[in-house]
């Protein structure tokens, strides 16, 4: 493997400094990695460090167990292997974070459960969804389109494997991709999975009757997360009624759609914004694989 260039060395300095290394310590460690074994003079010359400082820097790195001397006359140093050093640092940081995660909330006089947190960007929204799914203990309820939910299928499967009941209300047709075994269930929204309005971009997710997450995944993805009891209860109630509706559709889907039209169009004409009604009408008129037009929905 080729040795890192000066440009690559400089690019790594901020990461080392973020781990608690001073700039001189970071430069000395990276330079020594390139030269090792090397004397303090050689490190000073190659790293551009003042000679008066380099011994103190190497001594500090030795105390941090980042470098170690291997000879006395002349005194030469080598680095502790990155896998060993940074693995140890990672474990130490993880322990500290776990301790603080447990201890800091006890300092507050009131709980932060009444807040609703605003989230922005796909990365932040995705991280929150994965965190909620991975920390679920009893159940995960989620309503989303298959395209939005697909990146989280493995996380949902892992939760199901550890005994969490997954319940999905799905916009789309790919039921087979979201089957996680008993007691988990996946339903097509209103019996056919027809996307209505902005449904293809929305996610509603609740966990254990304790957390709620609502997001819109578009070019400017935005969402909210909360443990506020009233808001969580509202989100749970909305999903619970979707579940009721899904079970009812399993038994009485055809009579319901004969009365109210495919995708409940006659009802939606009363209560949806006009532009969403027109979009749904166009969708139902188009022959599509899986969901299909009005006649196919009526027979589903």
Confidence bin at 204 (pLDDT 50/70/90): very high
**What's the start-to-end Cα distance of the chain, in Å?**
60
**193 occurs within a structural domain:** yes
Cis-peptide into 37, omega within 30 deg: yes
Does 285 have pLDDT greater than 50?
A: yes
Does 288 have pLDDT greater than 80?
A: no
Do 178 and 267 belong to one domain? yes
**110 occurs within a structural domain:** no
What are the pLDDT digits (tens) for 51-95? 888 999 999 999 999 999 988 888 999 999 999 999 999 999 999
Q: Which residues make beta-bridge pairs with 216?
A: 202, 222
Higher pLDDT, 240 or 272: 240
Its domain, for residue 13, covers 6-84
The helix/strand/coil state of 111 is: coil
Does 282 have pLDDT greater than 50?
A: yes
Note the pTM of the prediction, 2 decimals: 0.61
pLDDT of residue 287: 59
The pLDDT > 90 percentage for the chain reads 61
- Please tell me what DSSP assigns to residue 202: E
The domain that holds 16 is classified in CATH as 1.10.10.10
Please give the Cα distance from 64 to 92 (Å, whole number).
Answer: 12
Do 147 and 242 belong to one domain? yes
**102 occurs within a structural domain:** no
pLDDT of residue 1: 36
Do 137 and 249 belong to one domain? yes
Burial 99-120 (b: 16+ CB within 10 A, else e): eeeeeeeeeeeeeeeeeeeebe
pLDDT of residue 213: 97
Higher pLDDT, 15 or 293: 15
């Amino acid at each position: 493997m080729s040795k890192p260039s000066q440009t690559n060395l400089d690019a790594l300095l901020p990461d080392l400094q973020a781990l608690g290394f001073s700039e001189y310590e970071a430069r000395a460690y990276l330079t020594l990695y390139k030269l090792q074994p090397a004397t303090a003079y050689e490190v000073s010359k190659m790293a551009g460090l003042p000679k008066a400082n380099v011994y103190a820097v190497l001594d500090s790195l030795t105390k941090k167990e980042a470098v170690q001397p291997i000879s006395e006359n002349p005194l030469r140093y080598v680095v502790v292997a990155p896998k060993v050093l940074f693995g140890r640092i990672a474990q130490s940081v993880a322990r500290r974070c776990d301790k603080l995660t447990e201890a800091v909330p006890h300092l507050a006089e009131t709980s932060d459960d009444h807040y609703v947190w605003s989230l922005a960007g796909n990365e932040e929204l995705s991280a929150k969804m994965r965190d909620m799914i991975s920390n679920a203990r009893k159940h995960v309820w989620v309503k989303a389109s298959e395209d939005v939910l697909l990146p989280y299928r493995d996380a949902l499967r892992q939760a199901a494997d550890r005994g969490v009941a997954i319940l999905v209300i799905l916009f789309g047709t790919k039921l087979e991709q979201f089957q996680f075994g008993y007691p988990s269930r996946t339903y097509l929204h209103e019996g056919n999975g027809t996307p209505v309005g902005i449904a293809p971009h929305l996610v509603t997710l609740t966990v254990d009757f304790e957390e709620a997450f609502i997001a819109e995944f578009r070019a400017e993805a935005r969402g909210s997360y909360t443990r506020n009891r009233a808001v969580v209860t509202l989100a749970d109630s909305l999903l619970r009624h979707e579940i009721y509706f899904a079970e009812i559709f399993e038994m009485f889907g055809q009579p319901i759609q004969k009365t109210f039209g495919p995708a409940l169009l006659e009802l939606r004409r009363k209560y949806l914004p006009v532009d969403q009604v027109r979009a749904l009408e166009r969708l139902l008129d188009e022959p599509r694989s899986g969901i299909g037009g009005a006649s196919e929905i009526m027979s589903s």
